[in-house]
Amino acid sequence: MRDRYVIAGALVIQAVVAVFFLYDILSSYIGFRSEPISWRMREIIEVGASIGLVLGFALGALALRRSTQRRHEAERRLRAASSAFMDMIEDAFADWGLTPAERDVALFATKGLSIQDIAALRNTSEGTVKAQTNAIYRKAGVNGRSQLLSLFIEGLMDDALFDAAHAEPAPRPNGADPAVEASPGAGPVSAPAVAASPASQT
């Protein structure tokens, strides 16, 4: 949102300056008459317009720099997510006890390749690939490719929820502890909180 305002400000400044210089050139070219102003005032206006150009360029460069930083951050997060996904897949393959051939087939299956494509890539028959996929599904405890993919998707979602649950909470004002905060309008808590009535003691 902030970058949007920066870009809009840069465009407005450059548009105003462009209109000024264009008006100045066209008025001299077509002989448009206007109220004359002093040279000092004209120089002040031209200096202001030049400063506006520099300011618009600076704002545009700032917006470009922030956009580049966001792109690099998105690429970094994508690489981290891809690495975490591959680590999770390797851990799952190890837990299921897949053979190296079954690992290759399972990895190709998670990428969406068909039986024919996997057989062509591994230089094996389609029957062999089908037997390997059936063994993968049996060891993973699923009925097909969709359930196999759902296992990995659920793993990613569980990791995201775990990270969100264990994220550091935002600091509260004045160092207040939420565990001991009183509800609005509540008076001081007396001690002891629960007292036995005389009738209950008899």
Q: Which of 43, 60, 80, 77 is nearest to 7 (CA)?
A: 60
Q: How far apart are CA 108 and CA 153, in angstroms?
A: 16
pLDDT by residue (tens digit) across 108-118? 998 889 999 99
pLDDT at 46: 79
Question: Per the structure block, which two tokens stand in for 136?
Answer: 């993968």
pLDDT, residue 187, reads: 46
**pTM, to two decimals:** 0.46
Q: What is the mean pLDDT of residues 177-195?
A: 44
CATH class of 97-165: mainly alpha
Core vs surface per residue 82-103: b (16+ CB within 10 A) or e: eeebeebbeebbeebebeeebb
Mean pLDDT value across the chain: 75
Let me know: does 113 contact 121? Beta carbons within 8 Å: yes
The CA angle 196-200-202, to the nearest 5 degrees, is 125
Distance between CA atoms of residues 147 and 61, nearest Å: 48
pLDDT of 199 > 50? The answer is no
Residues 6+ apart with CB under 8 A from 151: 92, 140, 142
Burial (CB < 10 A; 0-12, 13-18, 19+), residue 40, is exposed
Whether 127 has a pLDDT exceeding 90, the answer reads yes
User: How many Å from the N-terminal Cα to the C-terminal Cα in the chain?
Assistant: 69
Distance CA 54, CA 64 (A): 15
Please, how many CA atoms are within 13 Å of residue 8, restricted to the half-sphere of its CB?
5
The mean per-residue pLDDT over the stretch 59-81 comes to: 85
Using an 8 Å Cβ cutoff, are 6 and 65 in contact? no
